[in-house]
């Protein structure tokens, strides 16, 4: 090694040692007679100093030539600092430089390498290798590393085997679009990149592998919304000879292990909530349970009092915002504007202020007496000082709208602390959902998810009512993982494909190998996949998964640093038997 110590290592106990350090110049302070250099590496910062008169003049000259981000190798003596800096672990000492070598120069970086940089997003992405020098970004990737290691340690301890599944697979244009790869050796044919290793992990169960996992790249050619990446990473798992409860407890264990080992947090056991309850109480299948503010249905007390808006509504439903009774007109108007935004689309917002003196002030005073509103308050457990907020209309839309309002109020009231974590299993999802665009049923999870045996009889008569053995893990209102018990027999799988509008031929072409496999002794099995980028960002307290990916792509799927995608040569196209055909 070119160094004897790292820049994060030296302590008071090292005083009088001769050391060699390497690293980058973080900053230089030149007081004329004294020159200080802060030398930085991945492990920390150590202060170097050179003194006029006591240091070789040529050495001082070289030191004065170094600028920000120069790479140095220095020898020197560790000495105790006169003015210690208790904010840095090496702050008790400094290194009196006896020799100094510039290992590499640096141009002035396009933005400052500081926690709060002056670099904009585009600039930081173009020079990502400099952005990665910033503590915050490096710490994110160190967190990610630790998450991956601890995931493996936990799953290894339970006899899971990591098996690599192929990346060059087959296009199955269900769900999102596949990225495809032309095959040179098989002209006119293509591989596809996996959206998930779903069928392979199921085949591993058929093979008797019993407990599989993989931390694996997956790919989706989607129109990228903010914070979607064309390539992303999953913790992908599957188990055989299990019930749903086994999977929930095993992977609740994983998440608790991660919280304990990575964050030092003792996570309580994770409650289960049915999809129906999640919708009923939170209007969302991924409720943020860091705070309560549950939905309360008010149909029984709000309807039949002559308020036409409520009377004609399928659902009247409210939340109670604790301590918000004294909201001003302006604040209430803002909330009304919020729910009327096109994305939410409520027609209006009814509020009831529960005044300190026990009276109510509401936007519907002319329809409801104090007695009426007392009943509302009782149902909603609203006390003096609280604010009831009520939406009405078509059920699903109203639930969705109130869910947004609830999150907004949680935000406003500081109930969504990034350092607080609340996890939840949402279970008993519907098997199918109606897709308006293509006018047919669509698998809510995926076509391999097993219907609940008790609901099988509804598959023909009332498909929307059939529940699946499917589950999501939700943390702080984010779906971090989801999975299901799988179908493991050919008949059910075929039935499922036909319900989803596959012809027998299509089903056989795309998934024939899986259905064949089911005929050779497939065991009962199920699994789960966690979105690893998302899980890391959640643990890191960030909303952006890009902060936790070393070399992310932008919203056009472009890597700004290496400038890709890019054109390829005519020769390459010819070898691949393809032509580019751009519409003008």
The DSSP output letter for 1 is: -
Q: Least Å distance between CB 229 and its own copies? A: 9
Interface with its own copies includes 114 (CB under 8 A)? no
- Out of 177, 257, 375, 395, name the contact with its own copies by CB under 8 A: 177
Q: Least Å distance between CB 576 and its own copies? A: 7
Q: And the tokens for 444?
A: 């809510």
Residue 368 or 548 with smaller CB distance to its own copies: 548
- Out of 114, 174, 276, 489, name the contact with its own copies by CB under 8 A: 489
Interface with its own copies includes 111 (CB under 8 A)? no
Site for its own copies in 218-277 (CB under 8 A): 219, 221, 223-224, 230-231, 233, 241-243, 246
- Looking at the DSSP assignment, which residues form a beta bridge with residue 34? 51
Q: Least Å distance between CB 326 and its own copies? A: 50
Window of 28-36, 68-76, 256-264, 392-400 that interacts with its own copies by CB under 8 A: 68-76
Window of 385-393, 416-424, 430-438, 567-575 that interacts with its own copies by CB under 8 A: 567-575
Q: Within 13 A of 56's CA, how many CA atoms are on the CB side?
A: 9
Residue 192 or 474 with smaller CB distance to its own copies: 192
- Out of 59, 79, 88, 141, name the contact with its own copies by CB under 8 A: 141
Residue 433 or 559 with smaller CB distance to its own copies: 559
- Looking at the DSSP assignment, which residues form a beta bridge with residue 297? 317
Residue 356 or 570 with smaller CB distance to its own copies: 570
Window of 175-183, 297-305, 309-317, 378-386 that interacts with its own copies by CB under 8 A: 175-183
List the x/- string, 507-546, binding to its own copies by CB under 8 A. ------x---xxxxxxxx----------------------
Q: Least Å distance between CB 252 and its own copies? A: 15
The DSSP output letter for 552 is: -
- Looking at the DSSP assignment, which residues form a beta bridge with residue 467? 430
CA distance 447 to 507: 11
User: If phi over 0 gives left and psi between -120 and 50 gives alpha, with beta otherwise, what is residue 14?
Assistant: alpha
* Helix residue ranges per DSSP H, 259-315: 275-282, 299-302, 308-311
Q: Least Å distance between CB 488 and its own copies? A: 6
Site for its own copies in 117-136 (CB under 8 A): 127-130, 132-133
Residue 297 and residue 315 in contact, taking contact as beta carbons nearer than 8 Å = yes
Residue 41 or 455 with smaller CB distance to its own copies: 41
- Out of 12, 158, 161, 570, name the contact with its own copies by CB under 8 A: 161
Q: And the tokens for 124?
A: 């930081």
Q: Least Å distance between CB 306 and its own copies? A: 54
Residue 135 and residue 111 in contact, taking contact as beta carbons nearer than 8 Å = no
Q: And the tokens for 15?
A: 């005083």
Interface with its own copies includes 149 (CB under 8 A)? yes
Residue carrying the six token digits 């009247």: 316
Q: Least Å distance between CB 239 and its own copies? A: 9
Ramachandran angles phi, psi of 448, nearest 5°: -100, 0
Site for its own copies in 396-425 (CB under 8 A): none
Site for its own copies in 27-66 (CB under 8 A): 40-42
- Out of 166, 271, 304, 501, name the contact with its own copies by CB under 8 A: 166
Residue 293 or 514 with smaller CB distance to its own copies: 514
CA distance 352 to 358: 12
| Residues sharing a CB contact under 8 Å with residue 40, sequence separation 6 or more, in sequence order | 7, 23, 24, 25, 26
Interface with its own copies includes 209 (CB under 8 A)? yes
Q: Within 13 A of 520's CA, how many CA atoms are on the CB side?
A: 12
- Out of 48, 74, 204, 388, name the contact with its own copies by CB under 8 A: 204
- Out of 49, 191, 259, 281, name the contact with its own copies by CB under 8 A: 191
Q: Between 329-340 and 395-412, two packed helices, what is the crossing angle to 10 degrees?
A: 140
- Out of 74, 95, 206, 302, name the contact with its own copies by CB under 8 A: 206
Helix (H) or strand (E) holding 157: helix 135-157
Interface with its own copies includes 77 (CB under 8 A)? no
CA distance 530 to 483: 9
Residues contacting its own copies: total by CB under 8 A: 122
Ramachandran angles phi, psi of 261, nearest 5°: -80, -30
Residue 114 or 210 with smaller CB distance to its own copies: 210
Distances (CA, A) of 219 to 146, 169, 235, 553: 23, 12, 14, 13
| Residues sharing a CB contact under 8 Å with residue 548, sequence separation 6 or more, in sequence order | 140, 141, 143, 144, 533, 536, 537, 540, 542
User: Measured on CA atoms in the order 51, 57, 58, 61, is the torsion positive or negative?
Assistant: positive
Interface with its own copies includes 503 (CB under 8 A)? no
Residue 390 and residue 349 in contact, taking contact as beta carbons nearer than 8 Å = yes
Q: Least Å distance between CB 271 and its own copies? A: 22
Interface with its own copies includes 501 (CB under 8 A)? no
Interface with its own copies includes 433 (CB under 8 A)? no
Q: Least Å distance between CB 160 and its own copies? A: 9
């Amino acid at each position: 090694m070119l160094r004897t110590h790292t820049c994060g290592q030296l302590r008071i106990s090292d005083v009088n040692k001769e050391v060699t350090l390497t690293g980058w110049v973080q900053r230089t302070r030149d007081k004329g007679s004294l020159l200080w250099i802060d030398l930085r590496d991945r492990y920390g910062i150590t202060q170097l100093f050179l003194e006029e008169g006591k240091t070789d003049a040529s050495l001082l000259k070289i030191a004065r030539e170094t600028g920000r981000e120069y790479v140095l190798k220095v020898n020197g003596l560790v000495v105790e600092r006169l003015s210690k800096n208790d904010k840095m672990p090496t702050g008790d000492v400094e290194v009196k430089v006896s020799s100094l070598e510039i290992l590499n120069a640096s141009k002035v970086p396009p933005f400052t390498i500081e926690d709060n940089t002056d670099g904009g997003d585009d600039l930081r992405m173009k020079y990502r290798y400099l952005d990665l020098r910033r503590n915050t970004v490096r710490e994110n990737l160190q967190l990610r590393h630790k998450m991956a290691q601890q995931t493996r340690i936990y799953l290894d301890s339970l006899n899971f085997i990591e098996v690599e599944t192929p990346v060059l697979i087959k296009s199955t244009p269900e769900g999102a679009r596949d990225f495809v790869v032309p095959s040179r050796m098989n002209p006119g044919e293509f591989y596809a990149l996996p959206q998930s290793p779903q069928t392979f992990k199921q085949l591993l169960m058929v093979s008797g592998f019993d407990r599989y996992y993989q931390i694996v790249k997956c790919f989706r050619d989607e129109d990228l919304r903010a914070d979607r990446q064309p390539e992303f990473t999953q913790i992908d798992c599957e188990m055989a000879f299990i019930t749903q409860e086994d999977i929930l407890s095993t992977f609740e264990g994983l998440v608790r292990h991660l919280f304990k080992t990575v964050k030092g947090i003792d996570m309580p056991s994770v409650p289960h909530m049915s999809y129906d309850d999640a919708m009923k109480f939170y209007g969302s299948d991924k409720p943020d349970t860091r705070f309560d503010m549950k939905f309360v249905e008010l149909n029984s007390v709000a309807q039949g009092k002559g308020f036409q808006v409520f009377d004609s509504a399928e659902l009247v439903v409210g939340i109670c915002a604790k301590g918000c009774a004294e909201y001003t007109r302006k604040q209430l108007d803002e909330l009304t504007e919020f729910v009327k935004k096109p994305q939410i689309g409520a027609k209006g917002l009814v509020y009831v202020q529960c005044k300190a003196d026990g009276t109510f002030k509401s936007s519907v005073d002319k329809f409801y007496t104090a007695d009426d509103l007392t009943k509302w308050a009782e149902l909603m457990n609203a006390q003096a000082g609280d604010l009831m907020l009520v939406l009405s209309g078509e059920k699903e839309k109203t639930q969705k709208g109130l869910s947004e309002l609830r999150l907004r109020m949680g935000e406003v009231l500081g109930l969504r602390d990034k350092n607080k974590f609340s996890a939840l299993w949402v279970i008993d999802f519907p098997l199918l959902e109606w897709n308006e665009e293509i006018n047919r049923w669509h698998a809510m999870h995926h076509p391999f998810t097993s219907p609940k045996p008790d609901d099988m009889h509804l598959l023909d008569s009332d498909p929307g009512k059939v529940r699946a053995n499917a589950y999501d893990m939700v943390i702080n209102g984010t779906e971090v993982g989801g999975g299901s018990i799988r179908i493991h027999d050919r008949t059910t799988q075929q039935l499922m494909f036909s319900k989803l509008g596959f012809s027998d031929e299509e089903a056989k072409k795309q998934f024939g190998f899986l259905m064949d496999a089911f005929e050779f002794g497939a065991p009962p099995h199920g699994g789960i996949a966690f979105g690893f980028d998302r899980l890391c960002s959640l643990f890191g307290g960030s909303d952006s998964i890009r902060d936790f990916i070393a070399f992310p792509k932008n919203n056009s799927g472009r890597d700004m640093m290496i400038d890709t995608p890019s054109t390829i040569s005519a020769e390459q196209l010819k070898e691949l038997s393809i032509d580019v055909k751009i519409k003008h």
